[in-house]
Chains A and B, each alone.
Chain A
Amino acid sequence: MYSMKLRKEKYDDFVAALGKQNLYAPQKKGETLVFAPVEAGSSIPEFLNTTVPPKNIVYPQTETLYCFQAGDTEMSLPEGDEEKVVFGIRPCDARAMALVDDLFSWDDDDPYYLEKRAKTTLVGLACNAPDNNCFCTSVGGGPASTEGLDVLLTDLGETFFLQVLTEKGEKLCQSLGELLEKAAEDDLKAVEKLHEEAEQKISRKIDTEGIPDKLMGLWDSELWAEISEPCLGCGICTYLCPTCYCFDIQDEVEGYDGRRCRMWDSCMFGEYTLHASGHNPRPTNRERTRNRVNHKYSYYVEKFGKIACVGCGRCINLCPVNIDILNILTKVKEAL
């Protein structure tokens, strides 16, 4: 496709131009960076990545499937979704969406997810300075990976360098018209250099070769108990993981009014696998941690040929007890 440039001082106009669509970009909410609708007059925040991944834009944490009345059989469906543009999504998070697409269009199409996904244009921002715990390069990605993106931006200081990647991206750029400038040959060189340097800056790495095949062999290993011992069973690693997609469906009834909702669930929660009988096939954090790792590095690979981890480092950064996926993988490799 083709490349363009956007001057940073024109960000306001950019926001205005996309005014009719819903533009999401990283915003500070209190102390925390999240993706949120941009309002006119806001600036581009300095950020490495958001604490909360943008997955909730296409896969909301709570989604009403339909509403009903107790004692009644009629139901009403929620209204359709609007077009959205996500500005500043990091390549890892975009890759995650591409990964999850496989799941939601696998045996049956999931209309709720796919509709939102189709109506969302992802404008990514390459990482010039990856974080300590970024390890995207170990799992098939990179600081300038384009997978899942419609447009990739690279920060050149004064300007953003735009690489238009898909039709959706092109449509978006066209709608911006005059705002964009033609990119120069030098710019592209500078961008490529930046991308290369960024990749060099990734300090934590692991060779995942062999892990997916052999993980199942460690099913009964002592390793899992050791790793999971300090685990608190909270939802940080899964809720903040851009590729985790598990959900639960619950009815929420107020008086006589009810709605059936789909909401994120976490395999690290005890009741995730709790049977009505009281039996729990994954009764402790040991089994749950094993499942989380196996799911990402074995089951998903088996089903879709890809590791369901994009190396964003969120679970490492935010785990309250320092359970570190790279440390786990290292131990797994040692045990193999």
Chain B
Amino acid sequence: MNNKPKIGVYVCHCGINISKTVDVEAVTEFASHLPYVEVARNYSYMCSDPGQLLIKEDIKNQGLNRIVVASCSPRMHELTFRKALAEVGLNPYYLEMANLREHCSWVHQDREEATIKAKKLVAAAAAKARLLEPLVENEVDVEPATLIIGGGIAGIQAALDIASAGFKVYMVEKTPSVGGKMSQLDKTFPTLDCSACILTPKMVDVASHPNIELMTYSQVEEVSGYVGNFEVKVRKKARYVDVNKCTGCGLCAEECRLHNRIPSEFDMGMGKRSAIYIPFPQAVPAKYTIDPERCLFLTRGKCGKGPKCIDACLPGAINFEQEDEIVEFKVGSVIVATGYDLFDPSRKPEYGYNDYPNVLTAMELERLVSASGPTGGEILLGRGKGEEPYIPKEIAFIQCVGSRDASCGNEYCSRVCCMYTAKLAHLMTEKIPDANVRVYYMDVRAFGKGFEEFYDRVRREGVHYIRGNPSEVFKRGDKLVVKAEDTLTATPLEDEVDMVVLAVGLEPRKDAREIMDLLRLSQSGDRFFLEAHPKLAPVDTATDGVYLAGCAQGPKDIPDTVAQAKGAASSALILLSSGKVKVQAQISSVDESTCRGCGFCVEICPYGAVDLVTVNRMGHQVQVARVNEAVCKGCGACVAGCLSGSIQQRSFKDEQILPQIAVLGGMR
């Protein structure tokens, strides 16, 4: 094929957006005299159908083989025009754009200067276009399976969706049971459904679904590979219980020498468990686990005359010899649903959480309210050892603890606290009919479906909302004093109460860094995982084939979490069901004949896309770099690090950029 460059230049008026400042006619005339330019035209809207048709017709009729579109930002319409080229059989990468709108007509007013600049930009684009090469978007096969990290409601929902679509799911959960934070909740706002009632069936479904392989008490150790072809290593931690034999009867826990002596994480430390335990009665799988940090036998090497749990277990499931197991498998996509941590209120010492037992977090209250909680659903507060527990009558909620608060590093709104506070306040009035409940708030954000209505209802029920951020909680006699200012009436308050509930916010998990390193994710300013685009790609990440669901990406309530999980599942399914994935075309490649195998590119590549391989060069075994095309993301960092210029990024080669510099530098 004769590949002598025949360039078509198309200058867009963009209505008057460009033509108002840039003399479009003059630019077109100028472009028509540039070397290798066969056709130069202008049109009111190049991106419109007739505009695109102009290009297509010229390609067909005049045999153009390079197209320069001088219009808006390539970030806006590069894909549009690439498609147009492809539709008439011209390789879509024979397109170069000159940004005359965002970078020229909109930012300059002097028509003469703007026109000169526009000419330069067009000339530079034409200089590069001449040297463009056709690129092929390769495809790789997709392993029809998904890894889901995290077994909370987000992970559960995504797993069920993908599994129901007929694809394999590997779910890895760090704790001994799926369920996540939602399983700790008593009721859910604003409908006041019982959390367990709606969640447990899904938990059971996950465990029983034939397409889901559930790995609880397990951690992802390593993820390598790339979209469609991730290789995963999971560490299944030793439970010291053979899950195939364990019936979940619980006799072992009864016999454990530490029976009911270890604070239960599930009950926020207010309930007790044994060293061999299930986190909560509805746990899935309902299999016991020995806590290796607590079990006397595991920590000290002896437990009385011998671990009593062994004798108690009739099926003989207990096995202290058990070791961690490494499982390896391949998946095509990954969903990160690792959830969140609750804000630790001891970081706000003014609220006295560490000092007074009757300052609780909302989650602690949640467990108190729960019928399955440590008090069987009664709101009973201990006064200290040997003293009678009491029922609080004066109750204060403090909102935005650890949210919207730059002093503790969290500027964001946690989005759920307003509504869970309203819910708990409602439950207080329900459980303790003579209680006085007030809520200290900054703003009430009741934006979801049924939220505002619920907030209204709670207020009607007598919950008193006071606008003001308390400065201090301290003790006076038997009472706690909340010191605040009612900012609506400008009244300083010292409010004596029996119980203070802190509406703690949501924070990124402390172990988020491990996941980031594992999957090459980034964080946004709030330290939650960064989505590929905040609006248009909220479940995608910078790593192709890795998706986000739930609070790992940012605070959200259950319906939003479920919606995002379904979104992530659908994104993963697009990949899995198409079976193929296109890889980047503008990626790096190595000229193996000049590469000297120094490995700088290997060190530099953030994706591990470059390897050194041994090749035979005229009879000599020499090392050269080679790019894994499916992994390369086309950043080009390797190119600038290569001393011999042997590695080049397609469409951004040195020989393509240098002419741009020449034109923009000298315009000769």
Contacts and interface: CB of A to CB of B under 8 A. Distances in A.
A256 B668 CA distance: 7
A255 B36 contact: no
A70 B667 CA distance: 13
Contacts of B593: 278
A64 B504 CA distance: 77
A62 B123 CA distance: 29
Contacts, number: 26
A71 B36 contact: yes
B663 interface: yes
Contacts of B667: 255
A71 B663 CA distance: 15
Contacts of A278: 593
B663 to A, nearest CB: 5
A186 interface: no
B662 A72 contact: no
For chain B, the bracket of interface size reads: 10 to 19
A195 to B, nearest CB: 54
Nearest to A278: B593
B649 to A, nearest CB: 22
Given A255-B659, A255-B663, A256-B127, A71 B35 contact: yes
B35 A254 contact: no
Nearest to A71: B35
Interface in A60-84: 69-72
A70 B668 contact: no
B666 interface: yes
Q: Is the interface of A mostly helix, strand, loop or mixed?
A: loop
Nearest to B593: A278
Nearest to A69: B35
A197 interface: no
Contacts of B123: 255-256
Contact of A72 (B35, B659, B663, B666): B35
Interface in B630-668: 659, 662-663, 666-668
A71 B662 CA distance: 16
A257 interface: yes
A255 B666 CA distance: 8
A254 B662 contact: yes
Contacts of A256: 34-35, 123, 127, 663, 668
B668 A254 contact: yes
Contacts of B662: 254-255
A250 to B, nearest CB: 15
Interface string A248-281: 0000001111000000000000000000001000
B68 to A, nearest CB: 15
Interface string A71-100: 110000000000000000000000000000
Contacts of B127: 255-256
A70 B4 CA distance: 13
A276 to B, nearest CB: 13
A72 B667 CA distance: 17
Interface string A224-262: 000000000000000000000000000000111100000
Contacts of A71: 34-36
Nearest to B662: A255
Contacts of B34: 71, 256
Nearest to B659: A255
Nearest to A256: B35
Contacts of A255: 123, 127, 659, 662-663, 666-668
Contacts of A70: 35-36
A253 to B, nearest CB: 8
Nearest to B665: A255
A278 B659 CA distance: 26
B666 A254 contact: yes
Nearest to B666: A255
B65 to A, nearest CB: 15
A253 B663 CA distance: 11
Contacts of B659: 255
Interface in A81-128: none
Interface in B2-40: 34-36
Interface in A276-323: 278
Residue picked from A70, A72, A255, most chain B C-beta under 10 Å: A255
Contacts of A72: 35
A69 to B, nearest CB: 7
A71 B123 CA distance: 14
Nearest to A254: B662
A255 B593 CA distance: 28
Contacts of B666: 254-255
Nearest to B36: A71
A255 B34 CA distance: 11
A89 B668 CA distance: 41
A69 B33 CA distance: 12
A278 B594 CA distance: 11
Nearest to A70: B35
A278 B34 CA distance: 34
Residue picked from A69, A71, A72, most chain B C-beta under 10 Å: A71
Given A254-B662, A256-B35, A256-B668, 7 more contacts: A71-B36, A255-B123, A255-B127, A255-B663, A256-B127, A256-B663, A278-B593
25 contacts: A69-B35, A70-B35, A70-B36, A71-B34, A71-B35, A71-B36, A72-B35, A254-B662, A254-B666, A254-B668, A255-B123, A255-B127, A255-B659, A255-B662, A255-B663, A255-B666, A255-B667, A255-B668, A256-B34, A256-B35, A256-B123, A256-B127, A256-B663, A257-B668, A278-B593
Interface of B: 34-36, 123, 127, 593, 659, 662-663, 666-668
